Chain A
Amino acid sequence: MNVEEELKEAMRAQVDEVYAPPSMGSAVRRRRRRSLTRFRTAGAVLVTAAVAITVPVVLTNTTPTPGPADAGAPAIAVPGIVVPDVIGMNAKQAYLLLEQAGLTPMIMTPGESTVDGAKADSVRAGENVILTSPAAGAVIEPKGLVQIKVPWVPAPTGSPEPPVDQSSNDNLGDLGDGLTWMGIHVSYLPEGVKWGGSSYVGGFGAKSATVPYVTEGLEEGMYSVQVIVSADAKLLHRDGEQVAPGTWISSYGEGGEKLGFGTGSTLTASRDFPGDLAVQVLFSPDYSKSLGEAKAKEEIAKVIAAIRQEK
């Protein structure tokens, strides 16, 4: 079998047992017209009838929230299975146990975000379960999906450095105005952009840090302008338009592929500093869009040109 077919088969196996809950139609209406009291009983009954035909065995992954609108949803008696407690157990044993219990286990990677601070090659997935979703004791449908999570643990070989502790000390602390850090000074930012109060260490290779800058009213966790400093030369994208000696500008997609300016790509400026220091400036897709292409490119060039090394 070729990879396309294998992949399709794997995807099929993953979602084969997932069915939309019969209350979907009413849930959508509830979202749409929360304020309206009128509820189309006739419509809900019709949903029930139609779903009963298309989905012979109704298995859902979530329990519909009880509410007045659910009065119209069908009451289908589903025999439940209690999720056993497998925390601390070897993931493979947990997998088999859940499978034997009539559930559909799925071992999840610990999540991309938790590994950012550590060097990618210094961690591997651990063997013992730290979390299941739904948690032990929950009653779910037969063959219901149970996610098993394992932690990242330091790899036995590789970097002698332990993974960076994610809890508290993986940032640069209080940076004051947030413009001077890791031996650089950000002396120009576009109007309305200021330090957002956060910083991250180690996400971009050894001796790296990144600081996001935000505009007024930006949602928590988002950035408008982000500056990354790293000793890792991989940070330099030399394939962009060269705007100054050792400075390049282009837009890249999520996978690092070069794209045109626009939605789905991140406007990125890279600059090669003396002493093996690479600096990258990113304008978020939303922020770039708000400026427009010409202005965004002009501003990013000014930001990167104005970054200087502190002696």
Chain B
Amino acid sequence: MTDEDEAAFDEFVAARSTALLRTAILVCGASAHDAEDLVQGALEKVYRHWSRIRADNPEAYARKVVVNSAITRSRRRKVIREITFAAPPDTPVDGPDLGLREAMLAELRKLPTRMRAVLVLRYWEDQSEIETAALLGCSVGTVKSQAARGLARIREAMVEGVPA
């Protein structure tokens, strides 16, 4: 790797790592520490192939690695007992009424990881359906259906989360 490559990588990290970290936090469900580890891992892959990919949208590559490792991590964690019944309690966490936003985020965290990733990419990252499908390696139809189902569940949480 040339000095120029190294310098370009530094610029890339400085410019993009915060955005990647935020996406990772949202996709893997709010642990900043885990997310940071994940982003470091993703950037390491970017770094490894930097001279090859620097001219060719390294950000998209990094985002793809971040999102997919967040999904993998979450799947590995819960593989034993929640494979087909990934829906946790239907009743929202209704302890303290923290209002709409918290209710939405709580519901977001309860979604299956892939569905959550779709929502984060579509509505946080403002990725198009086509871009989201490419990032997740699924069809546009899957992105549409996952987004619709995810939003429907969030919408329910909004209704129930509003203090009476």
Contact = CB atoms under 8 A, between A and B. Distances in A.
Contacts of B18: 18-20, 54-55
A262 to B, nearest CB: 9
B94 to A, nearest CB: 7
Interface stretch (A108-116, A177-185, A289-297, A299-307): A108-116
A11 B14 contact: no
Interface residues of A, number: 87
Given A11-B124, A25-B13, A62-B33, A121 B91 contact: yes
A148 to B, nearest CB: 10
B56 interface: no
Contacts of A125: 93-95
A145 interface: yes
Given A25-B9, A43-B7, A212-B80, A18 B151 contact: no
Given A11-B120, A210-B81, A255-B86, A20 B21 contact: yes
Contacts of A198: 80
B40 A24 contact: yes
A15 B85 contact: no
B96 A112 contact: no
A116 B82 contact: yes
A268 interface: yes
B81 A14 contact: no
Contacts of B89: 115, 120-121, 123-124
A93 B139 CA distance: 45
B76 A221 contact: yes
Contacts of B80: 198, 200, 210, 212, 221-223, 226
B102 to A, nearest CB: 7
A247 interface: no
Interface of B: 6-7, 9-11, 13-15, 17-18, 20-22, 25-26, 30-33, 36, 39-41, 43-44, 47-48, 75-91, 93-98, 100-102, 104-106, 108-115, 119-120, 123-124, 137-138, 142, 145-146, 149, 151, 154-155, 158
Given A15-B21, A120-B87, A121-B91, 17 more contacts: A4-B151, A8-B124, A11-B26, A14-B26, A25-B13, A55-B18, A92-B96, A95-B96, A95-B98, A116-B82, A120-B90, A200-B80, A203-B81, A254-B86, A254-B115, A255-B86, A259-B142
In the complex, the 7 A-B pairs of residues with the closest C-beta atoms, listed nearest first: A92-B96, A50-B14, A61-B32, A20-B17, A254-B112, A15-B22, A125-B93
25 contacts: A6-B158, A7-B151, A11-B108, A14-B105, A18-B18, A20-B17, A20-B20, A29-B47, A32-B48, A46-B11, A47-B10, A47-B14, A50-B15, A92-B95, A106-B105, A107-B96, A115-B88, A120-B88, A121-B91, A254-B86, A255-B87, A256-B84, A257-B149, A263-B137, A285-B75
